Chain A
Amino acid sequence: MATQGKHPQKTSNRAPILIQIGIYATILFISWLISEWGNKTFPKFPLPTPVVGLVLMYLALTLHIIKVEWVEDLGAFLISIIGFLFVPSGIQLAGTLNILENEGWKLIVVIIISTVILLVSVAYCTRFFIWLRVHVLHKDAQVDADTKDEG
């Protein structure tokens, strides 16, 4: 605000952390309402709250309803500890160790192979479709490598 003029500082427009928390909480609450409504209306296709929230957050940013500076710090922090946030999901196995007794090692081997299959098939499909775009449709596939840090 006071930095208008000479040197626009990167930190100038950042919202206080409580405001950021408030924005996340509001989006999650609205998402929960939509998800509840969706799950009652279309019970066959689950509509989880975080997925609705992800779409809402993206739309709010893209349609300039909220500014990226209002949600960026908290978002970067949460993403930086995402590994830790999954620890309870991992430890959850302690509650269901008996499943592993029957076909345990087979499941684990299949999961490891599946992970590689998912990575490679999606990555190579993308390569194919981008090749198609360049060589058949003759459109460019140029991407800007550096982040655009518009203030």
Chain B
Amino acid sequence: MASTFILAAAAPVIKGPLAYFVTPFFGIVLSIAVYLLGQWLFKISKGFFLFQPLFVGMVMGILALAILAKWLGMDTAAFYTQAYKPGGDIIFWFLNPATIAFAIPLYKRNDIVKKFWLEILLSLIVGVFIALSLIFLVAKGFGLSKVGLASMLPQAATTAIALPISTAIGGNAAVTAMACILNAVIIYALGNWLVKIFRLKSDPIGTGLGLGTSGHTIGSAFALELGTIEGSMGAIAVVIIGIVVDLVVPIFATLVGLR
């Protein structure tokens, strides 16, 4: 709605070079270009963790927008909204079918789900509660503002669930969105290393649940690369953690006096 409004309002006024960018095709082409650049860099650097395609795509994309905005003599945020967002929204929409596709790896390992449902549920509830307490302490230790603190708490949930909760407990939704994306980038970039140093390999169920919680759908896709048990646990974590965060975080926020 917001973007159509802006387009409708801005369309007659746009003159000069900006007019060439105000089409969804620009955002789509830019997204694909920066992501492919990331994949290429990842390949030729033989998997250097900072060249993880999503991370490269994000940094290069922002950089490209900032440079183009400067060239056009406008604010990066305004250029983002007018030129990139229409195309970006189209790609973003495909996260809907992609998210529900995670039911498939989950269904394929229904044997584990039926056998361990109690352990899975308890681990996610207790695990999130411990994680919330630690995150709260760390955030407090760094001296984050009240808004910053509240924005950090819902990040275990996938973006679509985390944002409304963040707003509800007095956080900033954009900061929470950034947290959810960085979670995924970090898991994709450092996942192998983290699995190694915390010796998680021996326990595929825990690894899958942990990766799905910390890295959301991307963490779950990463878990799928480790094996079908990890993958299905990652998928179940994404689903159940959303519900757990939905219920636990508002209570936790009240307990620690954030609202």
Contact = CB atoms under 8 A, between A and B. Distances in A.
Check if A and B associate: yes
Interface of A: 24-25, 27-28, 31, 44-46, 48-51, 53-58, 61-62, 68, 71-72, 74-76, 78-99, 102-103, 106-130, 133, 141, 143-148
B215 to A, nearest CB: 8
A49 B159 CA distance: 12
13 contacts: A28-B100, A31-B100, A51-B160, A51-B239, A68-B108, A81-B98, A83-B188, A89-B177, A91-B65, A94-B77, A119-B213, A123-B206, A123-B210
B184 interface: yes
Instruction: Sort A-B residue pairs by CB-CB distance and give the 5 closest, nearest first.
Output: A90-B58, A88-B88, A126-B206, A123-B210, A75-B101
Given A79-B224, A95-B80, A119 B65 contact: no
Contacts of A81: 98
B31 A62 contact: no
Main secondary structure of the interface of A (DSSP, over half): helix
A91 B168 contact: no
Nearest to A51: B242
B103 A58 contact: yes
Given A118-B131, A125-B123, 17 more contacts: A28-B96, A55-B239, A78-B101, A80-B221, A85-B92, A92-B80, A103-B148, A114-B139, A115-B215, A116-B186, A116-B214, A122-B206, A122-B214, A123-B210, A129-B119, A133-B116, A148-B111
